[in-house]
Amino acid sequence: MRYSISTFNRSLLSLTVLAVSVFTFLSPVSAKSTNDLLNVQANQPVTRGDFLRAAVKALDLDERNVDESVISEYLRVPRGYQNSVSQAHERDALGIFGNDLMLGRPIKRGEAVRLVLELGDFDPVVPTVSLRDVRSGSSVEGAVGVSIKLGWLDPIRDGIFGVSRVLQGKDAIQIISTILGEEAPTVREQRKIQEKKDSQTIRLNFRSESNSSLGTFPKGDILNAVWQLVNKNYLYKEKVNSKEVGFAAAEAIMKSLDDPYSVFMRPASSRSFQSQIQGKVSGIGAQVEWKDEILTIVSPLPGSPAEKEGLKPGDQILEASGINLIGIGFMEAVEHVRGKEGTIVELKIRRSGAEFMKSVQRQTVTVPEIEITWQGEIAVVKLLQFGNLTDRELRPEMERIQEQNPKGIILDLRSNPGGLLHAANNVVSNFVPKGSPVAKVVAIDDERTEYTDMEPTIDMSIPGYVLMNGGSASASEIVAGALQDHERATVIGETSFGKGTVQQVLQFSDQSGVKMTVAEWFTPDGRKIDGVGVQPDIMIETDQRDRQMLKALELLR
């Protein structure tokens, strides 16, 4: 599942999204399908919890209420899995996991077929073929036999079933499809299904079973009465803009949450936001950092308004159109500099002690994401954000770096505000073994772990260092935290921003949208990041000499 968790995060003069996969609410359906029960990519590991829940529903075992006394017998059962655990416990199907179910851990092929066997009360069958990894008389033997007979899963090759292999999405889909009597989709069809799930558009016809759980709108009767009174009795009724009323009400709902990351976006704002996802933003076109509580230009982008107006690296932005930016925080300062294309922002600049004003016309600019330089035999990979370019183009770049056999790699995430979770996963996958955990994502009724699904491009013997500062947020913190937990890289610099929540982004049919906090993420070892940040292994404050970079180079040389 692609979290597009990402989270959408307000920050820099660049894309600031950690996209979470949006929920697509469909019309009511009369029958279950694999697509409804299991949301997983074909080559992604499937967790115990997700497979258990899908199997319970596929076998029509999810009708009864949760037995609270049963749940207390197990450790750490998220609410979203409690009904499935209760049903499986009743059928003695959880013995393979023990008391700590570890529902976020990938399930193995042998565990999956044995779980289905016990849930469905199937009679064990001895395999008709010889399998070297299935011990005669073992508890998994009968499940493997049923799996082959009924077409759940076949051996991965002659003589090997793959009982200890992690269950991949395509295999889980095969099992659930067979249980439901469906024809399992091909890999190409699975990709199309996933692309459809990843769509950013939501249709406004919700599942009937979901509506009953939404509850009544607070003070809905009063709001409706007020609206009726306005329509009937207001003297200047011709001035009433019903669209504005609707938008204002939606904005008020989100504003009442008192969460800066949860907002309603009108169509224009929503379209602008979607452009950010593609790496395009409207602003002055400069890379910036937060230094000494002041927004400071690192470098203007080539051909940008900032470059045309003569802004230079090291320039400090003190004010934006009369608003003092000093000390208000990195994210908020950036928002004041950015704005609608074509508008003018009056910047108060400090350069070498002298202060002056600059009028800059905002333009939509394409933000670069990857910069690769070499310091001798050491590769320096600077990521400016985690957008679509990073997701698509980083791995080929890392493969080229590996071909040159570097002495070490420095991953520079300073002032990187974040981006797509999948892009962060992609970055981590270059350095750690396939199937390594990247982050734990905990929602109100669900808990899942994101794993890498690609082989590393960089040899494990090549040392890595991550540079980080207070402007490193969201996806940057996911990467730094994961590489730190896996002891794959040493983190140098300052404590990161501390943005550890996940936002869901939905776009409605009129192009308006909602961005809402739906989950919190933790490092693979369970460390909390929100409001805390990632602590560096070597603390070095930002300075003019760039001692953070110098330290990394020193350690690699």
143-173 pLDDT, tens digit each: 999 999 999 999 998 889 999 888 988 899 9
Asked whether residue 391 falls in the same domain as residue 480, the answer is yes
Q: Who's near 221: CB < 8 A, 6+ residues apart?
A: none
Predicted pLDDT of residue 25:
27
Residue 469 structural domain: 1-24+202-279+367-557
Give DSSP secondary structure letters for 26-37: ----SS--HHHH
Tell whether 193 and 262 lie within a shared domain.
Answer: no
Q: Is 80 exceeded by the pLDDT of residue 189? A: no
Per the CB < 8 A criterion, the answer to whether 297 and 46 are in contact is no
Q: Are residues 132 and 216 in the same domain?
A: no
Closest CA to 276 of 530, 8, 23: 8
**pLDDT for 418:** 85
Helix (H, G, I), strand (E, B) or coil at 87: helix
Identify the weakest region by mean pLDDT among 34-38, 110-114, 253-257, 438-442.
34-38
Q: Name the least confident of 8-12, 111-115, 226-230, 403-407.
A: 8-12
User: 447 or 430: whose pLDDT is higher?
Assistant: 430
Among 315, 344, 366, identify where a domain stops. Answer: 366
Q: Which residues contact 544 (CB under 8 A, 6 or more apart)?
A: none
What is the 3-class SS of 292-312, one letter each residue? Answer: CCEEEEEEECCCCHHHHCCCC
Q: Which of 451, 445, 49, 388 is nearest to 200 (CA)?
A: 388
Higher-scoring residue by pLDDT: 202, 145: 145
pLDDT over 50 (residue 187):
no
Instruction: Write down which residue in 366, 394, 410 finishes a domain.
Output: 366
Alpha helices in 91-140 (DSSP H): 109-119
Mean pLDDT of 454-469: 96
More confident residue, 190 or 268: 268
- Give the model's pLDDT for residue 184: 53
Q: Please tell me the predicted confidence (pLDDT) of residue 1.
A: 31
pLDDT at position 199 is 34
Give the pLDDT of residue 492: 98
pLDDT of 216: 67
The verdict on 289 and 340 lying in the same domain is yes
More confident residue, 464 or 281: 464
User: What stretches of 321-477 adopt beta strand conformation (E)?
Assistant: 323-324, 344-351, 354-361, 363-366, 370-375, 378-383, 408-412, 437-443, 446-451, 464-468
Catalytic-labelled residue, pool 57, 291, 499, 515: 499
Tokens in use for 239? 């001035």
Calculate mean pLDDT across residues 462-478: 94
pLDDT digits over 238-267, tens only?
A: 888 888 888 899 999 999 998 888 889 888
Q: What is the CATH number of the domain that holds 427?
A: 3.90.226.10
Active site includes 136? no
Among residues 282, 412, 485, 515, the one annotated as catalytic is 485
Nearest to 451 by CA among 101, 167, 46: 46
CATH code of 284's domain: 2.30.42.10
User: 360 or 11: which carries more pLDDT confidence?
Assistant: 360
**Whole-angstrom distance, CA of residue 45 vs CA of residue 283:** 40
pLDDT greater at residue 322 or residue 419: 322
Does residue 10 have a pLDDT over 70? no
pLDDT for position 504:
81
Residue 208 belongs to a domain: yes
Lowest mean pLDDT of 168-172, 195-199, 464-468, 473-477, name the range: 195-199
Q: Is 485 a catalytic residue?
A: yes
pLDDT band, very low/low/confident/very high, at 476 (cuts 50, 70, 90):
very high
Does 215 lie in the same domain as 109?
A: no
The pairs formed by 191-196 with CB atoms below 8 angstroms and a separation of 24 or more are 191/42, 193/35, 194/41, 194/42, 196/24
pLDDT score of 305 more than 90:
yes
How confident is the model over 480-508, as a mean pLDDT?
92
pLDDT of residue 530: 92
Mean pLDDT check: name the lowest of 149-153, 216-220, 349-353. Answer: 216-220
Q: Are residues 141 and 125 in the same domain?
A: yes
| Per-chain mean pLDDT for the chain | 82
Are 295 and 413 in the same domain? no
For 402, the enclosing helix (H) or strand (E) is helix 388-403
**Dihedrals φ, ψ of 224, to 5°?**
-65, -40
Q: Is residue 42 part of a domain?
A: yes
Quote the pTM value: 0.55
Q: What is the mean pLDDT of residues 360-389?
A: 90
Evaluate the CA torsion angle 395, 524, 448, 20 in order and state its sign. negative
29 in a structural domain: no
pLDDT bin (cut points 50, 70, 90) of residue 182 is low
The answer, yes or no, to whether residue 352 has pLDDT greater than 90, is: yes
Residues 394 and 253 in one domain: yes
Confidence of residue 463 (pLDDT cuts 50, 70, 90): very high
Q: Which pLDDT does position 9 carry in this prediction?
A: 32
Residues 285, 398: one domain? no
Among 474, 476, 496, 512, which one carries the catalytic annotation?
474
12 domain-assigned: yes
Give the pLDDT confidence score for residue 369 in this predicted structure: 86
Going 225 to 227 to 232 to 234, the CA torsion angle's sign is positive
Q: How confident is the model at residue 96 (pLDDT cuts 50, 70, 90)?
A: confident
With beta carbons less than 8 A apart as the criterion, state whether 36 and 87 touch. Answer: no
Highest mean pLDDT pick, 205-219, 318-332, 430-444: 430-444
Residues 113, 128: Cα–Cα separation, whole Å: 16
CA 306 – CA 40 distance, rounded (Å): 43
CA distance 551 to 231: 68
How many domains, the chain? 3
Point out the least confidently predicted range of 99-103, 270-274, 290-294, 350-354: 270-274
135 and 241 share a domain? no
Q: 492 lies in a domain? A: yes
Q: What is the pLDDT of residue 311?
A: 95
Give the chain's length.
557
User: Does the pLDDT value for residue 308 go beyond 50?
Assistant: yes
Local confidence band at 496 (pLDDT 50, 70, 90 cut-offs): very high
Q: What is the mean pLDDT of residues 527-532?
A: 93
- For residue 202, pLDDT over 70 is answered with no
Does 392 reside within a domain?
A: yes
Whether residue 310 has pLDDT greater than 90: yes
Q: In the listed set 197, 216, 243, which residue is the last one of a domain according to the structure?
A: 197
Same domain as 345, residue 248: no
The answer to whether 83 and 54 are in contact (CB under 8 A) is no
Q: Is 315 a catalytic residue?
A: no
**How confident is the model over 485-489, as a mean pLDDT?**
96
Inter-CA distances, 539 with 85, 145, 285, 533, 548, Å: 44, 57, 30, 13, 9
Q: Within this chain, do residues 168 and 271 fall inside the same structural domain, yes or no? A: no
**Most confidently modeled range among 284-288, 464-468, 541-545:** 464-468
Q: Residue 352 to residues 288, 316, 356: CA-CA distances in angstroms?
A: 17, 9, 11
